[in-house]
A and B are shown apart, each in its own frame.
Chain A
């Protein structure tokens, strides 16, 4: 988290130029460009439907780009598909384990498919499984594993063939906060130990803090790209949340006296202002409405996201969710599964 990796000093692990993907009329990815240095933990942040998964699929050679180029571990994703595949590890958003096999059998299968030298399969398996704390469960059927254990096992499997770049698509989706934290600890540790590059997507803002650099993606484009700390510093304003008896009057008074645009968010009056701590005394003195509680927060990635996209990531998600459920309804009423 501390290192603000810059390009140039270290060799490039991923290089993307003008990458575009169109599905029929839908422009899923509209010309993204970025570089990831070797050993970096690089995060793609954005709401569902922003084009993160499509981008990751293009980098993993699963989807052909409509335009633009990308190279991973020094190989072109279109022309040198096999070379890319030999050098990357993948952990998908949806589980891809065989539940009827044991953990060890799943990893064995992976090693055989990737052609790992037979004499190294066992030691490597022990190493990656120990790393995610599953070595003692190696002979259990995967069906008996919890969601967090499965995800850890998938990460271990993705590492089985010592990839140079590990792709993680929403590695913590659907997991409880505690498991998410432990997964992140594993990810940071293995990055350190194996010296590999990690490229991941997430729509959890707090998780992006674990990345060296993040790219914020919205509507198929990268709207911001830098270290989380730098991005937060750029926002420049603090978030102030106050509780009063009359929220509407408070919002009006804030506009009149301080020229501040406030809104109700999660049941309290919320607004952004530069130098929040200095602002609070003035607020108490001049607002004219009794304040019951006040909270000043340094900018978070939520604020960063907001300042670049004009909406919170949750709102963006809800919009996407509404569209999705509407589509589902149509499909169901259309009377048929595709």
Chain B
């Protein structure tokens, strides 16, 4: 292919320019993986070019962490056994920072639909599932990059930079980011307009955040709230995250018991591994539903 030497503008006469012909291969696993990779990469390119988004999605979590965390400190002193309120809510804040970003990434499907770009992907000879998986992986990657920023400020919240803990947090938030993006995509597939999506997100994200126990320990709650708390999927991401952080704090057993009581089902303490497994399983189920719905749309 000698196109570099025979530039089209240099030789407009068609007969002298050799046409570069390509053939589109039959669908294969390799071509699907390639499609997943490019959809994923596009999310990253979009993220990189949108600096504002990096800031805006972190404003709210940081407000909670530093303003609410510091402001309510005096009120909380009685119950935190000397532990800073910021330290206590830090794991929850990390979870919601990841959640906000992941939901935002999922919104790009609605955006793409409104701006027509979704069609370009829909007509390509690839499986719809590849597009959804690429989107979810992209959203998860972007969300975990945001998560890393929150991990970086751990010191300001009185959380030590223990390598093992950071690794654990990173893996956990990656899984959470994937599940939340799958959840967001599942909703986004059905919604045609950005405003509606934002409205629906507000309606779902805020209650999930408040109920999850990101801002309070999930023991000794009123009965109705305890039930809601156990039903909220985010609870099962916040709890193992908090346990991971608290494992690396040097605090009194009383403080530990009060602030990190763990999630119980009828008195049985749910192990962290099961909690994480639930988050992942739920994410996979929602991914499945998202793929199924996406494949049905014409």
Q: Which residues of A contact B (CB under 8 A)?
A: 60-64, 82, 85-87, 90, 92, 94-101, 105, 108-110, 112-117, 120, 123-124, 126-127, 130-131, 133, 135, 160-162, 189, 192-194, 337-338
Contact = CB atoms under 8 A, between A and B. Distances in A.
Contacts of A97: 116-117, 120
A130 B34 CA distance: 26
A85 B125 CA distance: 6
Contacts of A162: 20-24
Given A60-B123, A337-B193, A115 B25 contact: yes
B34 A112 contact: yes
27 contacts: A60-B123, A62-B298, A64-B298, A85-B124, A85-B125, A86-B25, A95-B116, A96-B116, A100-B46, A100-B50, A105-B45, A109-B120, A110-B124, A113-B35, A115-B27, A116-B24, A117-B23, A123-B4, A124-B20, A126-B4, A127-B20, A135-B9, A161-B22, A162-B21, A193-B17, A193-B19, A338-B192
Given A87-B24, A105-B45, 11 more contacts: A62-B123, A90-B123, A100-B46, A108-B38, A115-B31, A115-B34, A116-B24, A126-B7, A130-B9, A193-B14, A337-B193
A101 B45 CA distance: 8
B22 A124 contact: yes
Interface in B93-120: 112, 115-120
A120 B25 contact: no
A96 B120 contact: yes
B126 interface: yes
Interface residues of B, number: 43
B199 to A, nearest CB: 12
A94 B117 CA distance: 10
Nearest to A136: B9
Contacts of A98: 42, 46, 112, 115, 117, 120
Given A85-B125, A123-B3, A192-B14, A116 B116 contact: no
A143 to B, nearest CB: 10
B120 A112 contact: no
Given A86-B125, A130-B9, A109 B19 contact: no
A176 to B, nearest CB: 21
A255 to B, nearest CB: 52
Contacts of B50: 100
B250 interface: no
B120 A110 contact: yes
A108 B41 CA distance: 11
Contact of A101 (B20, B42, B192): B42
A96 B23 CA distance: 23
Interface of B: 1, 3-4, 7-9, 14, 17, 19-27, 31, 34-35, 37-38, 42, 45-46, 49-50, 112, 115-126, 192-193, 298
Nearest to A160: B22
Contacts of A109: 38, 42, 120
B124 A113 contact: yes
Contact of B20 (A64, A82, A123): A123
Contacts of B31: 115
A82 B28 CA distance: 12
Given A112-B34, A131-B8, A96 B125 contact: no
Contacts of A99: 115
A161 B193 contact: no
Contacts of A90: 123
Nearest to A190: B14
Nearest to A113: B124
Contact of A113 (B19, B121, B192): B121
Contact of B116 (A92, A114, A194): A92
B66 to A, nearest CB: 32
A96 B111 CA distance: 12
Nearest to B192: A338
B38 A117 contact: no
A120 B34 contact: no
B45 A96 contact: no
B3 A82 contact: no
Task: Please name the 7 residue pairs, one residue from A and one from B, whose CB atoms are nearest each other, closest first.
Answer: A130-B8, A112-B38, A113-B124, A115-B31, A86-B24, A85-B125, A193-B14
Nearest to B23: A162
Nearest to A63: B298
Which of B4, B23, B193 has its CB near the most chain A CB atoms (within 10 A)? Answer: B23
Contacts of B192: 338
Given A85-B124, A85-B125, A98-B117, A120 B20 contact: yes
A124 B7 CA distance: 12
A189 B24 contact: no
A112 B1 contact: no
Contact of B24 (A114, A126, A130): A114
A320 B135 CA distance: 39
Contact of A161 (B7, B24, B112, B119): B24
